[in-house]
Amino acid sequence: MAIVGALALTGCSAGAGGDEETLTVLAAASLTETFTELAEEFEAEHPGVRVRLAFDSSATLAQQALEGAPADVLATADARTMELASDAVSGDPRTFASNSLVLVAPADGRAGVDGFDDVASGRAAYVACVETAPCGALWSALAEEQQVEAEPVSLEVDVKAVLARV
């Protein structure tokens, strides 16, 4: 799964006092920790610039961009959702990172999950992302390819919600 970013229509805006600029970034929930750290580094290296971050599901962010949400950068978790927002962004989207679908289980082992076969066979209950989310589209394709018949006990909006549920 690729992480895709593009510059949105608006530029950096001046703050209330006019001295500070604000860079507004809409980013996929899966980027929360990384982008928070990058924002802190960017602000330290660029006095007078404040980075304002907003995290949500890629589909929600794409819709917000289309509805005119003010942003300087849009970073979605895949090319499909960036394509949805293509009318709201200027420039060409660029892939700047990638990630992969992983199976997670509680660290204490109480779920009894040793691997993918436990989920595929229905021996273990699982949670997945909704199909409109990049993680859900990947899961849906994998489940179809591997002929997984067991249904998830819950469908969540993004990877953060899945992790919270687990």
Q: Give the per-residue pLDDT at 22.
A: 95
Coil, helix or strand for 25? strand
86: Cβ contacts below 8 Å, ≥ 6 apart: 93
Residue pair 156/132 in contact (Cβ under 8 Å)? The answer is no
Residue 4 phi, psi dihedral angles, 5° rounding: -120, 140
Residue pair 104/164 in contact (Cβ under 8 Å)? The answer is no
Q: Give the per-residue pLDDT at 63.
A: 92
Q: Alpha-carbon torsion 36, 42, 44, 48, what sign?
A: negative
Q: Give the per-residue pLDDT at 9.
A: 38
Q: Give the per-residue pLDDT at 87.
A: 84
CA angle 158, 91, 24 (to 5 degrees): 55
For the stretch 111-143, what's the b/e string if a residue is b when 16 or more beta carbons lie within 10 angstroms of its beta carbon? bebeeeebbbeeebebbbbbebbbbbbbbeeeb
Residue pair 77/1 in contact (Cβ under 8 Å)? The answer is yes
Tokens of 17: 């006092």
**What is the mean pLDDT of each successive set of 10 residues along the chain, which is 166 residues long?**
47 57 93 94 95 93 91 90 85 82 84 85 90 89 90 91 90
Q: Give the per-residue pLDDT at 74.
A: 92
Which domains does the chain carry?
2-98 (3.40.190.10), 116-165 (no CATH)
